Amino acid sequence: MALKNKVALITGSTSGIGLGIAHVLAAEGYHIVLNGFGDAAEIEKTRQEIESKFGVKSIFAAADVTDYNSVAAMVADAESKLGAVDVIVNNAGIQFVSPIDEFPLDKWNQIISINLTGVFHGIRAALPGMKKRGYGRIINIASAHGLVASTGKGAYVAAKHGVVGLTKVTALENARANITCNAICPGWVLTPLVQKQIDDRAAKEGIPVQQASDELLLEKQPNARFATAEEIGAMVSYLCSDGARNVTGTTLSIDGAWTAQ
């Protein structure tokens, strides 16, 4: 039972936050375009599970978000196979931590390319079809670090602040086109990558995993509770709803009061 045959494309959706978003939207009847990297067999299993569990269509595209032509081809393929890209969630991102004066130049370029330029590529590729059809929902997964900063994360903070600015411009340019653009700014979300950070911290400091988790949370997130990928998905779902058609050009935080401090 596809929701008016709507199609959602989520970058970086083979695991973590992106996959959680895909599951939430598929449960509501959206056809899903998965994108990302990983083991081909596991990705195919994930794709098939979405189709069988939620009764929707799902395709996978291995587009590199740093390559505009690759992203444009992914959008064109989705429009050809599924009829449209009504929703694009620009979620793909990476992290690297280092002081600015020691930050590897290749890591800076990679983070800006994936976390910021990749979002621009997704928006630019999806907009023509959205304008033609007179409908679109663009959702950019930024971060609490799109609103505030932390030491050691110069490239990530710069990229995510850029995503927030790009979101505002996109919303302004399409304000009368029935196309909204918003940014979601999560704090700590318990994904496999974050769990690895916790496990590594526990091993390095010789402390229990739970203690490492608590310390990580309390450094930034006052409610001491991780957000979940499904909670991010619920916010995406709201932004795609008719009730959010006047919500555009803004940021929505899911950060346990991190940025309230």
pLDDT in tens, 199-216: 888 999 999 999 999 998
To the nearest whole number, what is the mean pLDDT of the chain? 96
Give catalytic status of residue 30 as yes or no: no
pLDDT given for residue 222 in this prediction = 95
* Averaged pLDDT for residues 43-62: 98
Q: What CATH number is attached to the domain comprising 119?
A: 3.40.50.720
Q: 95 and 70: one domain?
A: yes
Q: 180 and 68: one domain?
A: yes
Q: How sure is the predictor about 4, in pLDDT bands with cuts at 50, 70 and 90?
A: low
Query: Residue 1 pLDDT more than 50?
Result: no
Q: CA 161, CA 93: separation in Å to the nearest integer?
A: 13
Q: 196 and 236: one domain?
A: no
Q: 171 and 219: one domain?
A: no
Q: 208 and 82: one domain?
A: no
| Domain range enclosing 101 | 7-187+227-253
**What would the pLDDT profile of 125-176 be if each residue is shown by its tens digit?**
999 999 999 999 999 999 999 999 999 999 999 999 999 999 999 999 999 9
Kind and range of the H or E element at 52?
A: helix 40-54
- Exposure of 162 in the CB half-sphere (CA atoms within 13 A): 16
Q: 99 and 212: one domain?
A: no
Give the residue from 183, 187, 139 showing the smallest Cα distance to 161: 183
Catalytic residue among 30, 68, 135, 156: 156
Q: 154 and 231: one domain?
A: yes
* Averaged pLDDT for residues 43-70: 98
* C-beta of residue 89 within 8 angstroms of C-beta of residue 236: yes
Q: Which residues contact 78 (CB under 8 A, 6 or more apart)?
A: 7, 9, 33, 59, 61, 84, 85
Q: 240 and 113: one domain?
A: yes
Q: 175 and 203: one domain?
A: no
Tokens at 1, concatenated: 């039972």
Query: Residue 13 pLDDT more than 60?
Result: yes
Domain tally, the chain: 2
pLDDT given for residue 240 in this prediction = 97
pLDDT given for residue 3 in this prediction = 58
Q: 32 and 119: one domain?
A: yes
Give the torsion through C-alpha atoms of 68, 71, 77, 79, to 10 deg.
Answer: -100
Tell me if 180 is assigned to some domain: yes
Q: 86 and 195: one domain?
A: no
Tell me if 260 is assigned to some domain: no
Tell me if 125 is assigned to some domain: yes
Query: Residue 2 pLDDT more than 80?
Result: no
Q: 127 and 148: one domain?
A: yes
Q: CA 209, CA 94: separation in Å to the nearest integer?
A: 23
- The whole model's pTM is what? 0.95
* Averaged pLDDT for residues 95-117: 97
* C-beta of residue 184 within 8 angstroms of C-beta of residue 236: yes
